[in-house]
Every structure is written in C-alpha cells, then in structure tokens.
Chain A
Amino acid sequence: GQQVMQIPQYQHVQEGEDFTTYCNSSTTLSNIQWYKQRPGGHPVFLIQLVKSGEVKKQKRLTFQFGEAKKNSSLHITATQTTDVGTYFCAGGYGNKLVFGAGTILRVKS
C-alpha cells in the first residue's frame, strides 16, 4: 500500500535554531498536507500543497512540495518554545490521506 516516510523521528534544537522535517513517497501524490500536534493535543491542519514545486510560507514556517510531487519539507526558521510538538505530513493519494510517522520537535530555551 501507499506509504509516506517522514524523517527525522525526533529533533531537539536550541531556541533560535532552524528545524526541518522531510517527507517522501515512492509514488506521486495528488497533494500533501501538514499538521501540528501540540503535546497532549490533537493534530491541527497547517497547510495543503497541490502544485509541483509549490512553496508556501506562514510566518517562520516554509513548506515545499517537490517537482515530482513525491516529497515535501517543512522548515521552521529561528524556532521558539511555542513550536514544540509533533509535525505530521499527510500524503494525498486520490481521496485517501496517508500520514507519516511524525517528527517530534523539542526546543531548549
């Protein structure tokens, strides 16, 4: 079946450092979505990318969708303690969404 691989599984950064998480699919995606789950909370939708090579920004967060629509990344510039949580990508295969395993981000202040 379809699988979305996400790395790293865990990252611990100093406040102010940058952070990146990557997702990869072996087959072409119709879209990619990103979610954030705060500790003790539930996943909350951040963004959807649909077009090949698309780049979107939300303040310090930059989302990219690869040219082949098989990979994506989320980059956070100058992390803050409020960025802690688990970031999930979710690959769209037609009507179906397949989640990556998530990257847990911890920020040391």
Chain B
Amino acid sequence: DVKVTQSSRYLVKRTGEKVFLECVQDMDHENMFWYRQDPGLGLRLIYFSYDVKMKEKGDIPEGYSVSREKKERFSLILESASTNQTSMYLCASSRPKEQFFGPGTRLTVL
C-alpha cells in the first residue's frame, strides 16, 4: 500500500515564524503535490513537483515555497507565517492516475 506521511498532524506557530512542513512517500512516485484545504473552498493547489529539484507553481503559491531534494520528500515552506495561512495542509503523491494523500497537517498561525 502507498504510504504518504506528513511530519506533524497539528502545528501552532506565531506570525512571522518560518514554518517547514515535510512530506514523505514510500512508493517511488515522481509526482508530488501540496494543497491547502479550507471550508467551502475545497483543495487548492499550492505547488507541485514532477521530479527531483523540479517545482511548479499551483493556483495559490504566494507566501509559500517548496523544496524537493530527494524523490521521496517534498517540503513546503512558509517563509514568514501569517494568520491567513491558518489551514489544513495536505500532501499527495501520484502515479499517472490517482493521487494518494497524507493525513494532513492542521496549522494554526497566531
């Protein structure tokens, strides 16, 4: 079974802090994604990566950056966290067809 793990289930940070969210998948997938999920808005794509050291902006990349140094790991970085980045963050990896999601990180920025 595909397993996608995220470093934290819950995280509380202060405004202005730098935040790292880590995602690891164990199925050698090339494609990895970061989404944020907010009530009534569904899943919105922040960044995605189709290969190591490759990244592309999604629909809402402002305020975020990513890093993919190894195939299995895709990190989301909030350079200076703000209260409007309080959200559920979901990582996913995929074969050409379906996406497999991690359990999510609920981030609260105070």
Given contacts A1-B59, A42-B90, A43-B90, contact A101 B40 (CB under 8 A): yes
On whether the beta carbons of B40 and A9 are closer than 8 Å, the reply is yes
Chain B: interface residue total (CB-CB under 8 A)? 18
A6 to B42, CA, bound (A): 10
B44: chain A residues at CB < 8 Å are 99
Tell me, yes or no, whether B43 is within 8 Å of chain A by CB: yes
A-B pair count, CB < 8 Å, reads 43
Enumerate B90-110 residues with CB–CB distance to A below 8 Å.
90, 97-104
Q: List 18 A-B contacts (CB under 8 A).
A: A41-B103, A42-B90, A42-B104, A43-B90, A44-B101, A45-B99, A88-B42, A90-B99, A95-B50, A96-B45, A97-B45, A97-B99, A98-B45, A98-B59, A99-B35, A99-B44, A99-B45, A102-B42
